[in-house]
Amino acid sequence: MEEILETYTATELEHVKVWFKAASTKDFPVDGGACIKYKDKQIAVFNFARLDKWYACQNVCPHKMEMVLSRGMIGDDKGTPKVACPLHKKTFSLENGENLNGDLEAIATYPVKIENDFVYIGFSE
Amino acid sequence: MFIFIKTHKKYVILRIFVSKYQIIVRMKTIIVVGNGMVGYKFCEKFVAKEESKNYKVIVFGEEPRPAYDRVHLSEFFENQDAKALEMAPAEWYTENDIELIVNERVTDIHKTTKKITTAKDREFSYDYLVLATGSSAFVPPIKGVEKEGVFVYRTIEDLEGMLDYASKLKSKNANAKAAVLGGGLLGLEAGKAVMDMGLEPHIVEFAPKLMPRQLDSRSSQVLQLKLESIGLNIHLSKATNQILGDKSIVGMEFGEDDVLDVEMLIISAGIRPRDELGKTCDLEMGVRGGIVVNNKMQTSDESIYAIGEVALYNQMIYGLVAPGYDMAGVAVDQIIGEAETLMPEEIDMSTKLKLIGVDVASFGEPFMPASKGHSIIFENKTQHLYKRINVSLDGKSLLGGILVGDATDYSMLHQVYLNGMAIPEDPAQLILPASEGGAAFGDVMDLPDEAQICSCESVTKGQICAAIESGEATDIAGVVSCTKAGTGCGGCKPMLADLTNATLKSLGIEVKEGVCEHFDLNRQDLYKIIQVKEYKTFNEVLDNHGNGGHGCELCKPLIASLMASINADTANKEYAIQDSNDRFLANIQRNGTYSVVPRVPGGEITPDKLIALGEIAKKYDLYTKITGGVRIDLFGATLNQLPLIWKELIGHGFESGHAYGKSLRTVKTCVGSTWCRYGMDESVSFGIELENRYRGIRAPHKIKGGVSGCIRECAEARGKDFGLIAVEGGWNLYVGGNGGATPRHAELLAEQIDNETVIKYLDRYLMFYMRTAKPLQRTAAWQERLEGGMEYLKEVIIEDKLGIAVDLEKEMETLVNKFECEWTQAINDPEMMKRFSHFVNSEEEDDNLVFVPMRDQKMPEPWN
């Protein structure tokens, strides 16, 4: 199952080659997330309205390899924006993907930009 | 440098750091015989002394385990967890350099050579010998007492034997009866054990009253009424002639035609000191047993001490833990040379305990001759209440008293008595209910510093306050761990809590119990704030009362639940702050798919609806199972399938079962008088009514109900948050039960009430729980921690002591009237429907799902 993780690698803004036009901003809940599909990838996208920021990361939780993170609740851990997995409440930083309440592998995060009310996710391939 | 210990001679070369000097010090040996609570306490007090390192301590216990808490023995029946009763684990002895030898009885003492012999024929030398052999159950010489099924109530092994025997009995006869011989303190405890074992309990007492040592006849009558009302059968003034039966007991014979059929008997007729060792080595003994000690706890041989229930001090055996602990302390000090510590002349025999949920307390001089003072008695038999205080002739001091049914005043009265504090001009105020002219008397902070708060551990108010003032302890748990207060019988805990909180308050320290890093407020505070300020969104609450953050998975669902409890919102409102299950109105399963549970009120379902469920399950290929709450659960639905499935279910007349919410799940019912030949009332009809009444309401945790049509209790109503059992003349209403990790039987709130009253009380109860419980606290845990316990709950729910009953009912009425099926809401709103798709930019489903076949159905691929 772990091979799923290899599909996802953290992508820095300077390595973005493709800005994938995912969906309208209205398709995402305020201060919540939803999942988008890009090629064979599932990406969780979060509209962190309280911070006026958008975040994207892999949808698969590295704990049990299930495609669920987009359905998790978001919030902050002492100021760090985070998502909590709906299965076992493992929490991950939305900024660098780090597991905040355990020692799981960090999740891959992706850059997001908003243009004309559309959400774009940056990929290196 | 080296250490050299030769075990039996005890010559030790101590390691000296200073220089070349090596001093040979003869290390003295203390042997403690007996490892019960008092023997353990001796060790604990001893190792706390600086001087203890000059001694070697060896402890002998004949039981196979380290010392355990016998005071709370009846708890063993609730959890059967012997470990939980341990005073300290076996490692404690090693850590403190104490040699613990269990399973080996000491058989002889040789006073002149200062040696003991054990049952394994080993010999050990001592410098000091401490006898803490305790007592054994007194078995009266009744004919037939050796028969199978006759037990004593003393050790964990006794209890295990009883449990074994009881389960065999029950498998043969579900209505088997068991008797307890002895209506004293321990006998009534044993009576509770019989109830917990599921046998019909009978108490047989020789004296004309219960707890003859602690209670007067009137209080005994009140206690008897109360105990009978909860199902205990009491037989007073009964002298048992013989125990009937061939091999095993089948009954007890009192008089010629006076026979009680029982298949098990537990003897709890008092204690006898385990003083055989004293006899064999010729120590001075009491006429009726016990080893005579002086106020240094020394026996007639000055190297031999006796403490606890084996010691006869002032011609008395003290069967309570507190004096035993004091004796241990005196012996420790005497041995290390603090000669001024002596046992006091008068020993406080006050006791407070909860017997089968009934408070019983007596303190000071409970029975007092009229020549010594006046008694003030308050009695209310309908409520099973009795209070008596004895006041000196001049009316200035409190001499003693008895409390049955409600012992909330005990701690304060006991302190007033112990410290000789002044009492009000009209002493009746000390015991009268506040509404009848009684005044709240005495604040913990008014007590003198030397007032003993915990008598088991001799901890004074001053010591407790000092622990908090020095910063050593910052909460109750801290106070307990640094002073040991509250670790004995636990009776002082409420006072300890009051004192800790009052002291913290006096220091200006706020007791924080916020729900998470984003709120310093607790659930109850947030409840009030949201209610008063009428907040409608999470951000309003966070911005106005939070700590400046953005919320998290703890506070978001909590506030969602509170707003739902207060405003009757469904989970469709502000769905991003809902817990994942509430957000998608389904239970997330291992692989991220969901399960679907439609409501089947009371478990009643038509064949057509049953067929519809089957067909829908088949169409969507869902794994199907009957749940623990006797509903039908359909597993393996993808997010995209959820609305499609629900559209069909709603089309067939189903609605959401709220299996995903912290809300009412199901009201389980037996078939009741509609069909059952034993049924006393229509349990199904009433179960349906209740389920429909409380469906959808959001609470701190899930709520389950049960309604049984008769006392056979097929609906297991007493294992639910609320349970009803039909009896002659109405329903018995039980509250606060649950299964789960810590099973607990619901407790009786009201008896023989009609449907309307059930609903009235339940509305109040549930609403009161919803207002005041902690997050994710089930009713059982809430009720257990409710200060004042069941009595307080009855006062609030039935007597409306707080004057909030009307509000509670009104709030519940609003919730009931505003109910709306959230699935119906969702499938009729295209905006809401958007939530139920795996991708926002594709119609596809999650391609990561893998199912494998299992017993003609399917399951998610196992996790590795």
Closest chain A CA to residue B538:
A31
Q: Which of A68, A75, A91 sits opposite B550 (nearest CB)?
A: A75
Produce one character per residue of B810-832: b if its CB has 16 or more CB atoms within 10 Å, e if not. Answer: ebbeebbeebebbbbbbbeeeeb
* Nearest CA distance, A61 vs chain B (angstrom): 11
Backbone angles phi, psi at B448, to 5 degrees: -70, 155
Taking the C-alpha atoms of residue B45 and residue B328, their distance in angstroms, rounded to an integer, is 8
What is the distance between the alpha carbons of residues B193 and B219, in angstroms, rounded to a whole number? 23
Least Cα separation, residue A35 to chain B (angstroms)? 5
For residue A63, give the chain B residue with the closest CA: B863
How close A69 comes to chain B (CA, Å)? 10
All residues of chain A having their beta carbon less than 8 Å from the beta carbon of residue B835 are 29
- Residue B514 CB: number of other CB atoms within 10 A? 17
pLDDT tens-place string over residues B562-608: 998 888 888 888 888 998 899 999 999 989 999 999 999 999 999 99
Q: Does B553 contact A51 at a Cβ distance shorter than 8 Å?
A: no
* Beta-carbon-side half-sphere exposure of residue B220 (alpha carbons within 13 Å): 22
Which residue type does B100 have?
L
Tell if the CB–CB gap between B575 and A51 is shorter than 8 Å: no
- DSSP output for B97-153: TEEEEES--EEEEETTTTEEEETT--EEE-SEEEE---EEE-----BTTTSBTEEES
**Separation between Cα atoms, residue B725 and residue B713, nearest integer Å:** 7
Say yes or no for a CB contact (<8 Å) between A72 and B580: yes
The answer to whether A22 faces chain B, any CB pair under 8 Å, is yes
Q: From A32, which residue of chain B is nearest by alpha-carbon distance? A: B576
pLDDT at residue B775 greater than cutoff 70: yes
What are the tokens at B463?
A: 């010591």
Q: Which amino acid is at B270?
A: G
Q: At what angle do helices B37-47 and B321-336 cross, to 10 degrees?
A: 40
For the ranges B39-43, B69-73, B104-108, B334-338, which has the lowest average pLDDT? B69-73
- Look at residue B71 in the predicted model and tell me its pLDDT: 67
pLDDT tens-place string over residues B797-829: 999 988 889 999 999 999 999 899 999 999 999
B577, B839, B864: residue with CB nearest A1: B864
Report, as an integer, the average pLDDT of B373-378.
87
Residues pairing with B313 in the sheet: B316
Residue B560 has pLDDT above 70, yes or no: yes
CA-wise closest residue to B46 among B281, B331, B286, B256: B331
Which of the four pLDDT bands, split at 50, 70 and 90, describes residue B510? low
- Tell me whether A95 touches chain B (CB under 8 Å): no
| Token pair of A113 as six digits | 């930009």
The DSSP secondary-structure symbol of B718 reads: G
* Cα–Cα distance for residue pair B35/B156, rounded to 1 Å: 14
pLDDT value for B347: 84
β-pair partners for B598: B656
The conformation of residue B492, written as its DSSP 8-state character, comes to T
Q: Which of A96-105, B82-91, B141-150, B354-363 shows the lowest mean pLDDT across its residues? A: B82-91
B619 vs B3 pLDDT, higher one: B619
Q: Which of A35, A48, A67 sits opposite B840 (nearest CB)?
A: A35
Confidence at B20, pLDDT banded by 50, 70, 90 = very low
Structural domains of chain A sorted by starting position, each given as residue range(s) with its CATH number in brackets: 2-123 (2.102.10.10)
Which H helix or E strand runs over A122?
A: strand A118-123
Q: How many CA atoms does the CB half-sphere of B817 hold within 13 Å? A: 7
CB contact under 8 A, A35 and B848: no
- What would you report as the CA-atom Rg of chain A, rounded to the nearest whole angstrom? 13
Q: Do the chains contact at B840 and A73, CB–CB below 8 Å?
A: no
Q: Does A48 touch chain B (CB under 8 A)?
A: yes
Closest residue in chain B to residue A45, using alpha carbons only? B840
Confidence of residue B359 (pLDDT cuts 50, 70, 90): confident
Q: What is the mean pLDDT of residues B99-120?
A: 92
Burial class (CB in 10 A: 0-12, 13-18, 19+), B252: buried
Q: Which residues contact B715 (CB under 8 A, 6 or more apart)?
A: B668, B669, B670, B683, B687, B706, B707, B708, B709, B723
Inspect the interface and report whether the beta carbons of B840 and A68 lie closer than 8 Å.
no
Give how far A31 is from chain B: nearest CA, Å: 7
Q: Which one has a higher pLDDT value, B379 or B489?
A: B379
| pLDDT recorded at residue B2 | 42
Q: What sign for the dihedral angle of Cα A60, A63, A66, A68?
A: negative
Structure tokens at B57: 């301590």
Phi and psi at residue B783, to the nearest 5°: -65, -40
Closest residue in B to A71 (Cα–Cα): B580
Nearest residue in chain B measured CA to CA from A90: B553
Average pLDDT taken over every residue of chain B: 87
pLDDT of residue B6: 40
DSSP string, B656-689: B--TTSSBEEEEEE--GGGT-TT-SS-HHHHHHH
Structure tokens at B799: 């007597």
SS3 call for B619: helix
- Say if A23 is an interface residue toward chain B (CB within 8 Å): yes
Q: What is the DSSP string of B462-489?
A: HHHHHHHHTTS--SHHHHHHHH-TTSSS
The answer to whether B840 contacts A36, with C-beta atoms less than 8 Å apart, is: yes
- Please state, in angstroms and rounded to a whole number, the distance separating the CA atoms of residues A74 and A87: 14
B→A interface, C-beta within 8 Å: 517-518, 539, 549-553, 555-557, 575-577, 579-581, 583-584, 588, 590-592, 639, 834-835, 838-842, 844, 846-848, 863-864
Q: Could you report the per-residue pLDDT of B406-461, keeping only the tens digit for each?
A: 887 888 888 888 888 878 878 887 877 654 444 444 567 777 787 888 877 888 88
Q: Which residues contact B371 (CB under 8 A, 6 or more apart)?
A: none
| A72 touches B: beta carbon within 8 Å | yes
SS3 B497: helix
CB contact under 8 A, A34 and B580: no
What is the pTM (predicted TM-score) of this model? 0.52
* Residue A34 sits at the chain B interface (C-beta within 8 Å): yes
Subunit contact A35:B844, Cβ cutoff 8 A: no
Percent of chain B with pLDDT over 90: 46
Cβ–Cβ gap A67/B846 under 8 Å = yes
Residue B574's alpha-carbon distances to B93, B230, B544, B564, B578, in angstroms, are: 57, 47, 18, 11, 7
DSSP string, B381-446: GGGTEEEEEEEETTS-SEEEEEEES--TTHHHHHHHHHTT----SSGGGGTS-GGGT------GGG
What are phi and psi for residue B629, nearest 5 degrees? -95, 25
pLDDT at B317 over 60: yes
Report how far residue B413's alpha carbon sits from residue B265's, in angstroms, rounded to the nearest whole number: 37
**Contacts with A65 from chain B: Cβ below 8 Å:** 848, 863
A4-13, B78-87, B332-341, B662-671 — which is least confidently predicted? B78-87
Residues of chain B contacting residue A43, judged by C-beta atoms under 8 Å apart: none
Which of B552, B590, B839 minimises the CB distance to A76?
Answer: B552
- Of the two residues B326 and B443, the one the predictor is more confident about is B326
Place of tokens 């295990």: B160
Handedness of CA B510, B516, B518, B519 (dihedral sign): negative
In this structure, is the dihedral angle defined by the CA atoms of residues B269, B275, B279 and B282, taken in order, positive or negative?
negative
Residue B18: band (very low, low, confident or very high) from pLDDT cuts 50, 70, 90: very low
Instruction: Flag if B590 and A28 touch (Cβ within 8 Å).
Output: no
Q: Which of B670, B698, B690, B504 is nearest to B585 (CA)?
A: B698
Q: Which residues of B touch A30 (CB under 8 A)?
A: 576
Quickly tell me which residue has 């803004």 as its tokens.
Answer: A13
| A5 and chain B in contact, CB less than 8 A | no
Please name the member of A32, A66, A86 whose beta carbon is closest to the beta carbon of B576.
Answer: A32
Write the DSSP assignment of B206-274 as a string of letters.
Answer: SSSSSSTTT--HHHHHHHHHHHHHTT-EEE-S----EEE-SSB--EEE-SSS-EEE-SEEEE-S-EEE-
Among B402, B434, B399, B432, smallest CA distance to B416 is for B399
A27 vs B838, B840, B864: nearest CB: B840
- Residues A73, B576: C-beta atoms closer than 8 Å: yes
Q: What is the distance in angstroms between the Cα of B692 and the nearest Cα belonging to chain A?
A: 29
Contacts of B841 in chain A (CB under 8 A): 22-23, 27, 36-37
Closest CA to A94 of A28, A36, A37, A47: A47
Least confident of B13-22, B25-34, B76-85: B13-22
DSSP secondary structure string, B29-41? EEEEE--SHHHHH
Inter-residue contact B461 to B471 (CB < 8 Å): no
Q: What is the pLDDT of residues B464-488, one digit of tens each?
A: 988 888 888 877 777 887 888 877 7
For B668, B709, B732, the CA distances from B681, given in Å and listed in that order, are: 15, 5, 12
CA closest to A77 among chain B residues = B552
Band of pLDDT at residue B511, cut at 50, 70 and 90: low
A23 to B841: CB separation less than 8 angstroms, yes or no: yes
From the candidates B542, B553, B843, which should be mutated to test the interface with A, based on the most A CB atoms within 10 A?
B553
- Please state, in angstroms and rounded to a whole number, the distance separating the CA atoms of residues B118 and B412: 47
Nearest CB to A76 within list B550, B579, B846: B550
What is the pLDDT, as a whole number, of residue B457?
80
Cβ neighbourhood burial of B9 (10 Å; 0-12, 13-18, 19+): exposed
Q: What is the dihedral of CA B629, B634, B638, B641, to 10 degrees?
A: -120
Cα(B313)–Cα(B297) distance, integer angstroms = 8
The residue type found at B424 is P
| Residue A68 Cα, gap to closest chain B Cα (Å) | 6
User: How close does chain A come to B844, measured CA to CA in Å?
Assistant: 9
At B694, is the secondary structure helix, strand, or coil? helix
